[in-house]
Amino acid sequence: MSETTAVAPIDQIEALAAEAADKSETIMVREESFELAAQIPAIVMLRLTAAGDSKTAPARQMGAILDFLNHAVAMDDRERFMDFLEEADPIIDFDELNKILEAATEVIAARPTEQS
């Protein structure tokens, strides 16, 4: 006798995805908390992923990272976030910036995607 796995009806799955998309999530950088954007354009994620290719020019990689960081934070926190990255004391070096990028990417990539 085979076992069956219960599957939630599609309307329940869509409701859970919508609920998850509506929750604000934050990342902590040092003692500062920044709200992440509820949604990020798919093209920004694609550019970031493509920039990871070792054949991509460094300038294009840096541009994709900057574009992602600019879109990853909610509009209300975006200017404060970018100012913080630039003016933090002690400075935020590439190692720390990479950790910030990884944290934001992890949260955003784990969100359910929305069907179009």
Interval 34-86: pLDDT, tens = 988 888 888 888 888 888 777 778 788 888 889 999 999 999 999 999 999 99
Q: Per 3-state DSSP, what percentage of the chain is helix, strand, and coil (rounded to 5)?
A: 60, 10, 35
The full set of domain ranges for the chain reads: 36-116
